Amino acid sequence: MIKEQANMVSSSGLTGTALERAALSTALPEEPLIKIRTGRDDGCRPNFKDLWAHRELLYFFIWRDLKVRYKQTVLGAAWVILQPLLTTIVFTVFMSRLARVPSDGVPYPLFSYSGLLPWLLFSNAVQSSSQSLIANSYIITKVYFPRLIIPLAVVGVRLVDFFVSALMLFMMMLYYGVHPGRHLLLFPLLVVQAMLLTLGVGIWSSVMTARYRDIGSLLTVLLQLWMFASPVIYPSRLVPERWRLLYWCNPLAGLVEGIRSSLFGLEFNWTGIAISAVITLALLAYSVRAFCRMEEKVIDIL
Amino acid sequence: MRPIIQVRGLSKRYRIGKTLVAIPTLREALANALKKPLERLRGIEPEPDEMIWALRDVSFEVQPGEVIGVIGRNGAGKSTLLKILSRVIRPTVGEVDIYGRIGSLLEIGTGFHPDLSGRENIYLNGAIIGMRRVEIKKKFDEIVAFAEVERFLETPIKYYSSGMYLRLAFAVAAHLESEIIFLDEVLAVGDEAFRQKCLWKMKEVSRAGRTVFFVSHDLLTVQKLCGRVFLIESGQLLKDGPAEAVVTNYLKSFSHP
Please check the confidence at residue A10 and state whether its pLDDT lies above 50.
no
Report which residue type is found at A107: P
Which tens digits make up the pLDDT trace of B58-77?
A: 999 999 888 899 998 888 88
Q: Which of B25, B127, B248 sits opposite A60 (nearest CB)?
A: B127
Q: Please provide the DSSP assignment of A177-206 as one string.
A: T----GGGGGHHHHHHHHHHHHHHHHHHHH
User: What average pLDDT score do residues B159-178 get?
Assistant: 88
Contact list in B for residue A299 (CB cut-off 8 A) is 88-89
Contact list in A for residue B241 (CB cut-off 8 A) is 6
> Is A174 within a domain?
yes
Report which residue type is found at A236: S
User: What average pLDDT score do residues B90-116 get?
Assistant: 88
Contact list in A for residue B97 (CB cut-off 8 A) is 32, 34-36
Strand order in the sheet with B67-71: B102-105, B180-184, B211-215, B67-71, B228-233, B236-242
Q: Residue A150: closest CA among chain B residues belongs to which residue? A: B128
Residue A208's domain spans which residues? 52-301
Read off the pLDDT band of A12 (50, 70, 90): very low
> Is A90 within a domain?
yes
**ipTM for the predicted complex:** 0.84
Which tens digits make up the pLDDT trace of B129-159?
A: 989 999 999 999 999 998 888 999 999 999 9
> Is A128 within a domain?
yes
Say what the pLDDT of residue A252 is. Answer: 96
Element (H, E) at A280: helix A270-301
Which tens digits make up the pLDDT trace of A114-127?
A: 999 999 999 999 99
> Is A148 within a domain?
yes
Which tens digits make up the pLDDT trace of B216-252?
A: 888 888 888 888 999 999 889 998 999 888 998 888 8
> Is A33 within a domain?
no
Whole-number Cα distances in Å, B35 to A199, A211, A262, B31, B39: 34, 20, 51, 6, 6
| Spatial distance between the Cα atoms of A295 and A245, rounded to a whole number of angstroms | 36
Read off the pLDDT band of B44 (50, 70, 90): low
Interface test with B, best of A11, A30, A38, A211 (most B CBs within 10 A): A38
Number of domains forming the structure of chain A? 1
> Is A31 within a domain?
no
Residue contact A39–B64, C-beta within 8 A: no
- B residues 33..52 contacting A (CB < 8 A): none
Query: How many contacts (CB atoms, under 8 Å) link A and B?
Result: 174
Say what the pLDDT of residue B40 is. Answer: 61
Contact list in B for residue A34 (CB cut-off 8 A) is 87, 96-98, 102
> Is A1 within a domain?
no
> Is A26 within a domain?
no
| Spatial distance between the Cα atoms of A136 and A84, rounded to a whole number of angstroms | 27
**A142 touches B108 (CB < 8 A):** no
B24 touches chain A (CB under 8 A): yes
